[in-house]
Structures are given as structure tokens and as C-alpha cells.
């Protein structure tokens, strides 16, 4: 998530694929008229999921055909449709790099890769935590398990104890 304000030139670069269309000058003027919040949605099939939540780009049409969509609820017309969504995965990658130049884009693992990751990194710690939870039987098991997982996080930085002169003697 990042809050920023784009210049007209930055908006022109961001919407370069719309250049030459009748609405392009109004689009760049509107998009550079105030701050905006850029966010990245990371999930399986993120582009299609987000497009479904957005609804049609024309907010007036969205109010008729997709009344529960975000553009129907928050948009006012085709230009001021409240939200932007990438049209494809390749467009999303370009737009993420534009808004978040420091971001490292990595695919979300799925299928066997996800299962392998869970088996290697998540299950051992979670199994140990759930076993300890069953033995302890605390009054508030959710809080207890959350605290246990924080304390036993294998990726948590560990400080090594330094031996002082007094301890050495």
C-alpha cells in the first residue's frame, strides 16, 4: 500500500496504452488532481478476482448491471469510477513496477510447490505448537498458540549470549 500523488506526466506514462483516445487528457488531468492510494492484491487469480469486485469501468452502467460492485458503490461516472484494475497479468506486473519500483515480484506458489512449502516450513512448527497446546490446555488457546508461535518462530532473529569478562573468570 502506498499513498502518492502523480504528476500529469506520470499519469500519461501510466496510462500510455490509452494515449490518443478522446478521454485521455481528462483522464490524466483527473488522475493527477489529487492523492491516490496504490495497492497490490496478492492471491491466486488476483486480476480476474479484482475485476469481478470492480465491476464495469463505467460506474453508471455498473450501478445498473452490477449494483454491489465497488465502482457502482463508490464511482460517479466513467472517468471518476473510483478504482483502477489491471486488465491482465502482464499489465499488472508493469503497473506494480510503476507504482512500487522497489518491489520484488514473485509468483504465489500453487499446487505441489505450495504443498512442499507447507510441509517443509509450516507444518513442523505448527504441529509442535498444537502438541504443546494440547498438553498445556490453556484457558485461552488462541492467544496461547499465537504467543507460542511468536516465541518459537524458526525465522526469528536470535541474539547470541556474549560472555563478559566477569563471566569468563
**Catalytic residue positions, numbered:** 84
**Number of Cβ atoms within 10 Å of the Cβ of 70:** 19
Q: What is the Cα–Cα distance from 30 to 135, expressed in whole angstroms?
A: 60
Contact 123, 154 (CB under 8 A): no
**Number of Cβ atoms within 10 Å of the Cβ of 35:** 8
Q: What is the Cα–Cα distance from 48 to 89, expressed in whole angstroms?
A: 9
Amino acid at each position: 500500500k502506498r499513498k502518492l500523488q502523480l504528476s500529469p506526466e506520470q499519469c500519461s506514462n501510466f496510462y500510455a496504452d490509452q494515449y490518443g483516445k478522446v478521454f485521455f487528457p481528462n483522464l490524466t488531468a483527473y488522475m493527477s488532481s489529487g492523492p491516490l492510494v496504490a495497492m497490490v492484491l496478492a492471491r491466486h487469480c488476483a486480476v480476474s478476482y479484482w475485476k469481478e469486485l470492480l465491476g464495469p469501468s463505467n460506474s453508471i452502467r455498473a450501478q445498473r448491471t452490477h449494483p454491489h460492485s465497488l465502482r457502482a458503490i463508490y464511482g460517479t461516472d466513467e472517468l471518476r469510477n473510483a478504482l483502477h484494475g489491471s486488465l491482465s497479468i502482464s499489465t499488472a506486473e508493469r503497473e506494480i513496477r510503476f507504482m512500487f519500483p522497489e518491489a520484488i515480484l514473485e509468483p504465489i506458489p500453487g499446487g505441489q510447490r505450495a504443498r512442499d512449502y507447507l510441509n517443509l516450513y509450516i507444518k513442523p512448527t505448527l504441529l509442535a505448537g498444537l502438541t504443546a497446546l494440547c498438553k498445556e490446555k490453556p484457558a485461552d488457546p488462541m492467544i496461547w498458540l499465537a504467543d507460542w508461535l511468536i516465541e518459537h518462530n524458526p525465522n526469528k532473529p536470535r541474539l547470541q549470549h556474549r560472555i563478559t569478562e566477569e563471566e569468563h573468570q
